[in-house]
Homo-oligomer: A and B are copies of this chain.
Amino acid sequence: MAKKRQILVIGHNTNGCTPEHEKVAYDVGVEIAKSGSVLLTGGLGGVMQAASHGAKDAEGLTVGIIPQDDATLANEYCDIVIPTGMGLTRDFLNALSADGIVVVGGGSGTLSEVCAAYMHKKPMVAIRNLNGPVTQYIDGYLDHRENVKIEGADSAQEAVKKILELIK
Contacts and interface: CB of A to CB of B under 8 A. Distances in A.
Contact of A80 (B80, B107, B147): B80
A79 to B, nearest CB: 5
Given A3-B76, A107-B145, A112-B115, 6 more contacts: A63-B80, A80-B80, A85-B89, A88-B116, A108-B115, A109-B119
A84 B69 contact: no
Q: How many copies does the complex hold?
A: 4
Interface of A: 1-4, 6, 15-16, 38, 52, 56, 61-63, 65, 69, 71, 74, 76-89, 91-93, 96-97, 99, 107-109, 111-112, 115-116, 118-120, 132-133, 142-145, 147
B107 A142 contact: yes
